[in-house]
């Protein structure tokens, strides 16, 4: 029964992440509008940080650019998030099939490594918060904490 619970938790995190990143991508890049519940006129605090997904998702920081020789690969962070959570979904299935949490743990560590930088960009560079991005950050942090917890718990068995 424990295996099913672990699977379900990681499965739900991945599904919510896929849905969140898909909504964000669709509205911003296909419908050319702000995702639902994503704009607040005014500042969130005295620091002039706004709640505006379009400002974040259309900023120059909204894509990852890698240069390999003369080849430049540029990919939108929403697409990378969809890929990240889809791979997380595969690792959740491995928890169910093989009862192994190590893949989920390693994957969540990799995802977590990007979160502080992305939060820094939103707050200090873009000066705006995206509620969808924040949701994905919370999912990734939760995924890491739960991976560590279940790894320790399952290692004792």
**Could you give all domains of the chain from N- to C-terminal order, each with its CATH number?**
2-32+39-155 (1.20.1440.130)
pLDDT tens digits along 102-146: 889 999 999 999 999 999 999 999 999 999 999 999 999 999 999
pLDDT band at 156 (very low <50, low <70, confident <90, very high): confident
| pTM (2 d.p.) | 0.88
Average pLDDT, the chain: 87
pLDDT band at 35 (very low <50, low <70, confident <90, very high): confident
Q: Counting Cβ atoms within 10 Å, is residue 68 exposed (0-12), middle (13-18) or buried (19+)?
A: exposed
Nearest to 9 by CA among 156, 150, 154: 150
Nearest to 111 by CA among 76, 129, 128, 86: 86
């Amino acid at each position: 029964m424990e295996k099913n619970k672990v699977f379900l938790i990681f499965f739900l995190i991945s599904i919510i992440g896929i849905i969140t990143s898909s909504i964000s991508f669709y509205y911003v890049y296909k419908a050319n509008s702000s995702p639902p519940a994503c704009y607040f006129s005014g500042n969130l605090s005295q620091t002039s940080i706004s709640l505006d997904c379009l400002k974040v998702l259309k900023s120059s920081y909204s894509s990852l650019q890698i240069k390999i020789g003369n080849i430049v690969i540029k990919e939108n962070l929403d697409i990378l998030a969809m890929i990240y959570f889809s791979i997380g979904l595969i690792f959740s299935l491995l928890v169910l099939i093989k009862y192994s949490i190590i893949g989920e743990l390693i994957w969540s560590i990799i995802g977590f490594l990007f979160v502080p930088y992305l939060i820094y960009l939103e707050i200090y560079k873009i000066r705006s918060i995206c509620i969808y991005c924040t949701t994905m950050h919370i999912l990734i942090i939760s995924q890491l904490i739960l991976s560590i917890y279940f790894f320790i718990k399952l290692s004792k068995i």
